[in-house]
Amino acid sequence: MLTITIDRELGDAVYVQVASQMRRLIASGAISPGTPIPSVRQLSRDLGVSLNTTARAYRMLEEEGFLVIRDRAGVTVAAPAEQIGDSARLALLDELRAILARFRQAGIANDELLRTLQREVGALDGGRRGVRS
Amino acid sequence: MTETTVINFFFTFRVFLLGGILLAYPRISRKGLMFGTYLGEEQVDGPVADKLMRDWDVGCALVMIFSLLVGWGISLSGHPLRGNLTGTAVLILASIGLYFWMYGKTRRLAPAGAARQAMKASASLEVDKSRGDRFAKLALVICLLTALGSAAYATLSYQALPDRIPTLANLSGFGDELADKSFVAVLLVPSFNLVFSVFFALMALLVARAKLSLRGGTGGRSAQAQDSFRLAYSHILSGMALFLCLLFTVTSLEMIRIARGEAESFGLSLLWISVAMIVYALFSLIRIMKRIGQGGARLEDGSVEAPLSGGLADDAHWLLGVMYVDRTDPSLMVESRWGIGYTFNFGNPIAVVLNVIYLTASLGLVALTLMELGLFS
C-alpha cells in the first residue's frame, strides 16, 4: 500500500510536500496511469490538513499533467503525454535551467551534478521497470 | 427463579463483564499510547509502564469489589433494583475516577518529543475499493424506513386503540404500566427507534469513513491493520442498529396488539431479541479486542516500532485523553486513544451539531417517557 507522509516542521509548505511526493510516485511508475487516488476530502481527512491544502496540491498536479480530476469519476493518475508542445517544452526547460542554476550556486561541481542527474533518471526508469515486471 | 435472583445475577454479571473490559482496555490500545496519553513506543515497554499497569489492575479489582459490596448490600436489605442501579452507578463513577487518576499519572510522564511527532502525518494513496460502508448504508436505510413505517402504522391504528395503552413490560412480558392514550404515548417507541437505531446506523457509516491514523514509514501495514479494524467496528455498529430496530419495531407492534386486545402480553420475543443483541454485542467486541485490537493494534506486526503520527500522537488536541478537538483537522471521526472505537473531532462544527441534535433528541424522548408514565406528576 502506497503512502505519503507530511511533516509540518519542514520548511516546505504542506501542499508542496504532497505534490512532490505524488509527482515522484507517478513519475517512477509506482502508481500507473488510470489508477484512482483518494479524493481531496479523503486525503485531507487522513492527513489532518485543510481541504484547501490538498486541493491546491491536486490543482498543481493537474496543471502539470500528473492528475486528471473529474467531478464524478474522481481523481485518477494521468498517462504521460505522447507529444509535448513547444511552449510546454520551453517552460520545462526554463524550470530545469533554474534548478541547474541553484545547483551551481550551491557550489556543486558539474561532475557531481551529472552523476546526480543520471542517478535520478535511472531511479525513475528503475521504478518503472520494477512496476512493469 | 424469582425476579430478585435474576436482577442480582445480571448485576453481578455486569460488574464482572465491565470490570473485565476495563482490565483489557490498556492491553488492546495502539503501541505508544497509555491511558489516553502518548508515552512513546519505547517507554510503553519499560518499567514505568509496567508499574502503571499494575496500578490499573489493582484499581480495577478494588472498583469491582466496592461496587459489588454496595450493590449486594442494598439488595440484601430488600431493594434489589435499587441495589442493582446503585452498584452499577458506583462501578461507572469509580471507573471514571480511576481512569482520570491514571491519566493524570501518565500525563506527567509524556515525553516532550511527542509534539514534534504530531507534526508528521501519513496517508494511504489507495482508494478504498472494499466499499466498507455498504453494510452501514444498508442498515441506515432499513432502520430509517422501518422506524418511519412503524410510526405510520401506529398513527393509522390510533383511532382503534382504547383509552389506556401499555407502555412498560416486566420480565414475563406482561404490560405492567399503562398510560392515557395520546399521540405522544403511541409514537414514543417508534421515536426511540428513529433516534437510537438510526443513530447507530449513522455512526456505523461515519466510522466506515473515519480517519486512518498511520504510523510513518511502515509501507501501508499500519493502514491495512486500521482498515480491518474500521470495517469490523462499523459492521458491529450496523448489526447493533439492526437489532435495535428489530427490538423497537416488535415492541411498537406488540403494544398496539395488546392495546387492541389481540394479545395478552409481549410474550418472550422482546426478551429473546434483547438477549440476542447483548450476546451479539459482547461476542463481537470480545472478538475484535482479541483479534484486531484498538485501531488494528494486534495486526500491526513489525510496524509497531514506527512512531505514531498526526492527531493520535498529539497530546495538545486531546482533552483528558478522551475528547479530540482540532479545528484545523477536517475529519469528523478519529480513532479513540482510550478504550475501543472512534470519537468525534469536536473541532469540526458538523460533529458539534450532530452531538447537540442527538443529545437533545434522546433527552427529550426520555423526558417524554417519564411524563407519560406520570413520574413528573
Per-residue pLDDT tens digits for B140-187: 999 999 999 999 998 998 888 877 777 665 555 555 666 777 787 788
Q: Is the torsion defined by CA of B338, B339, B340, B346 positive or negative?
A: negative
- The full 3-state SS of A107-132, as one line of letters, equals CCCHHHHHHHHHHHHHHHHHHHHHHH
Q: How confident is the model at residue B348 (pLDDT cuts 50, 70, 90)?
A: very high
Which residue is it, cell 517544452? A89
CB B169 within 8 A of CB B183: no
Q: Which pLDDT score is estimated for A133?
A: 39
Do B331 and A6 lie within an 8 Å CB cutoff? no
Residue of B nearest to A41 (CA): B330
- Which residues from chain B sit within 8 angstroms of residue A38, using beta carbons? 123-127
Q: pLDDT, tens digit, for every residue of B62-100?
A: 999 999 999 999 998 888 889 999 999 999 999 999 999
Report the percent of chain A where pLDDT is more than 70: 93
C-alpha cell at B253: 407492534
**Residue A96 DSSP symbol:** H
DSSP per-residue codes, B232-267: HHHHHHHHHHHHHHHHHHHHHHHHHHHHHTS-SS-T
Q: Is the torsion defined by CA of B60, B64, B67, B69 positive or negative?
A: negative
Gap between the Cα atoms of B48 and B25, Å rounded: 18
Q: Which of A41, A50, A63 is nearest to A15 (CA)?
A: A50
Residues with Cβ within 8 Å of residue B174, at least 6 apart in sequence = B264, B265, B266
Gap between the Cα atoms of B36 and B100, Å rounded: 9
Q: pLDDT, tens digit, for every residue of A19-62?
A: 999 998 898 888 888 889 988 988 888 888 888 999 999 999 99
Nearest to A1 among B119, B220, B332 (CB): B220
Amino acid code (one letter) for B107: R
Nearest to A51 among B119, B224, B330 (CB): B330
CA distances B55 to B64, B68, B102, B322, Å, are 14, 20, 8, 20
Q: Which pLDDT score is estimated for B71?
A: 93
Q: Which pLDDT score is estimated for B375?
A: 60
Q: Which helix (H) or strand (E) holds B323?
A: strand B323-324
The ipTM assigned to this model is: 0.74
Which parts of chain B fold into alpha helices (H)? 3-28, 47-76, 80-107, 114-117, 134-156, 183-192, 198-208, 221-260, 269-291, 349-372
Gap between the Cα atoms of B60 and A103, Å rounded: 63
Candidates B120, B125, B129, B131: best to mutate against A (most CBs of A within 10 A) is B125
Q: pLDDT, tens digit, for every residue of A53-106?
A: 999 999 999 998 899 988 777 889 998 877 788 888 888 899 889 999 998 899
Gap between the Cα atoms of A19 and B33, Å rounded: 31
Do B122 and A41 lie within an 8 Å CB cutoff? no
Do B125 and A25 lie within an 8 Å CB cutoff? yes
CB B342 within 8 A of CB B207: yes
Mean pLDDT of all residues in B223-246:
92
Report the percent of chain B where pLDDT is more than 70: 90
Report the percent of chain B where pLDDT is more than 90: 44
Mean pLDDT of chain B: 86
Three-state DSSP class for A11? Answer: coil
Residue of B nearest to A36 (CA): B127
Gap between the Cα atoms of B347 and B345, Å rounded: 5
CA B124 to chain centre: 28
Q: Which of A86, A89, A113, A118 is nearest to A99 (CA)?
A: A113
Three-state DSSP class for B35? Answer: coil
Other CB atoms within 10 Å distance of the CB of residue A36 = 15
Q: Which pLDDT score is estimated for B329?
A: 87
Q: Which pLDDT score is estimated for B78?
A: 86
